[in-house]
Amino acid sequence: MEELTPGAIRRDLGTEFLGQHVVCYGRVDSTNALSKKLAEEGAPEGTLVVAEEQTAGRGRRGRRWLAPAGSSLLVSFILRPSLAPEGLPLLLMASALAVARAIEESTGLAVHFKWPNDIMLRDKKAGGILIETGLSGQDVDYAVIGIGLNVNLDVARIPEIATTATSISAALGEKTSRLRILRSLLKSMEKEYLLLQRGHSPVARWAARLSQLGQQVQVSTPWGRETGQLEGVDADGTLILRRSDGTEARITVGDVT
């Protein structure tokens, strides 16, 4: 198994701050939980936390994130963006674009997105992003960008995700280097983050990779189910569906199926 070490990750990386401070663990509860703690203790912007295995990996909406030891990229970055909480969907989109570019550059595979945070390879989920924040008054004090990417994972080993998920190795037909993808991700993530901080919206580029555009979809939300044609997202990242009666549904939280 290829080892992810701070030395190998940082060697000639060339980023300004992202990944310049790296903490690697064999096993942690969750890289997001640990990064939140480090952020609260004052860790510098760009700190990267990497784990081979998580005992309590967190997914969206209280779900677990499952990955056998050494099979995946399980990483979190600490950022300190000048952003109001309403801007967080844009940070999520910028992060997804960075993941897509890293996968495409390292493997040549085509990457699509499923709203709001799924990284898709051939219509199956290969990764997800979970942003957790600490607030200072009305503003974001820090944001932890947690990314789980199924790199060399045999999804058949995990019955809960076997039919809906895939991995980069499954799509490629061979195992691939987690280190190469991670180093590419650090560079693309820094670029996307700096663009966002300078006021460039990632929405159009994100929406261009949206799968299911124009298709009939169902979205389960905390308030019930919506059905309609997927029209896209607005400038804030809100999902827009056209219901069969012609009215518009605007959805900020939910899962598209």
Q: Which pair of structure tokens corresponds to residue 230?
A: 């997927």
Segment contacting ligand BTN by CB under 6 A, of 15-23, 124-132, 150-158, 168-176: 124-132
Which residues does 174 contact at the CB level (< 8 Å), separation at least 6?
none
In three-state secondary structure terms, 44 is coil
CB 178 within 8 A of CB 73: yes
Asked if 129 touches ligand BTN (CB under 6 A), the answer is yes
Tell me the C-alpha distance between 84 and 95, whole Å: 17
Give 21 or 242: the residue with its C-beta nearer to ligand BTN.
21
Site string (57-76) toward ligand BTN, x via CB under 6 A? xxxx--x-x--------xxx
Q: Is 105 exposed, middle or buried (0-12, 13-18, 19+ CB in 10 A)?
A: middle
For residue 49, the minimal CB distance to ligand BTN (Å) is 8
For residue 146, the minimal CB distance to ligand BTN (Å) is 3
Segment contacting ligand BTN by CB under 6 A, of 25-33, 81-89, 178-186, 187-195: 25-33
Asked if 31 touches ligand BTN (CB under 6 A), the answer is yes
Give 117 or 166: the residue with its C-beta nearer to ligand BTN.
117
Instruction: Give Cα 235 distance to the centre of its chain.
Output: 19
Tell me the C-alpha distance between 149 and 94, whole Å: 16
Q: Which residues bind ligand BTN (CB under 6 A)?
A: 30-32, 54, 57-60, 63, 65, 74-76, 117, 128-130, 146-148
